[in-house]
């Protein structure tokens, strides 16, 4: 098992990519702490992991509150004795066009994506250092690699995560801590995807999905399990020579 004996803290693991990653990490031997504000679905993720013989716990965490991020890290360490992997996956759909974006919406997307990633790393780094090193991973986006016409605030927050990834990869390498990012394309059947569709009530959902399929060489949307496998690849100790990478997992969308 690739993560046997490891402890992972995953934000936004109640649903979507986070849930798929928590399930896969646990299957690969990790003890998983799920940090999320969505208690109902987070507890279901915990139950699913436990039913498969794994270990998991839930840390209720509002990622717009720095103190709660600190508490989630502390809970993972208290529960399992160490922290080896910090995976900041939580995300929200962008607020939309420049002229439609309110200050509150801007603050939310920046807080949950970039600020929570920064302070999560700040609190996780000492624990990873004490454990002899480990891995950090951020869920960025293909729209952090190239601009979004529909939501500039979303693109800015995800581009910020990519620079944070690179900066931390440089600053934490001496501590044996690797830092990488995955850059998903559109992922079907996730709350974030539903949020994107809700932002475009004038567009038929299937027509919007078809447009996203056609602009990438692999003519389909991704699924959470594919993102989880990419995440596992980057946090796995067997890939210990990889750091500072922004890996597109988007059916070739970054090239199109």
Q: Please state, in angstroms and rounded to a whole number, the distance separating the CA atoms of residues 140 and 246.
A: 8
- Active-site option among 106, 154, 208, 241: 154
Q: Which residues pair with 180 in a beta bridge?
A: 137
CB atoms within 10 A of CB 42: 26
Radius of gyration of the chain (CA): 17
Identify whether 241 is a catalytic site residue: no
Q: Indicate the SS3 state at residue 31.
A: strand
Whether the CB-CB separation of 201 and 209 falls below 8 Å is answered with no
Q: Alpha-carbon dihedral of residues 101, 153, 73, 66, nearest 10 degrees?
A: -50
Nearest-CA neighbor of 64 among 105, 16, 23, 27?
105
Query: Whole-angstrom Cα distance, residue 83 to residue 33?
Result: 10
Catalytic residues: 154
């Amino acid at each position: 098992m690739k993560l046997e004996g490891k402890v992972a803290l995953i934000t936004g693991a109640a649903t979507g990519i986070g849930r798929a990653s928590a399930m896969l990490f646990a299957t690969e031997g990790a003890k998983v702490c799920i940090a999320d504000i969505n208690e109902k679905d987070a507890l279901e993720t915990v139950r699913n992991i436990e039913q498969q013989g794994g270990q998991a716990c839930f840390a209720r965490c509002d990622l717009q509150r720095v103190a709660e991020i600190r508490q989630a890290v502390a809970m993972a360490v208290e529960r399992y004795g160490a922290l080896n992997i910090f995976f900041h996956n939580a995300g929200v759909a962008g607020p939309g066009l420049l002229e439609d974006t309110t200050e509150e919406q801007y603050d939310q997307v920046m807080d949950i994506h970039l600020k929570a990633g920064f302070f999560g790393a700040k609190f996780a780094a000492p624990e990873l250092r004490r454990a002899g090193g480990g891995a950090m991973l951020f869920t960025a986006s293909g729209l952090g690699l190239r601009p979004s016409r529909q939501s500039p605030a979303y693109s800015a927050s995800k581009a910020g995560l990519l620079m944070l990834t690179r900066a931390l990869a440089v600053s934490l390498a001496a501590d044996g801590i690797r830092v990488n990012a995955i850059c998903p394309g559109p992922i079907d059947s996730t709350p974030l995807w539903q949020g994107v569709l809700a932002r475009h009530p004038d567009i038929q959902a299937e027509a919007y999905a078809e447009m996203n399929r056609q602009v990438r060489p692999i003519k389909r949307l991704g699924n959470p399990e594919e993102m989880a496998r990419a995440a596992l690849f980057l946090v796995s100790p067997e890939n210990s020579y990889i750091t500072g990478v922004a890996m597109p997992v988007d059916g070739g969308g970054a090239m199109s």
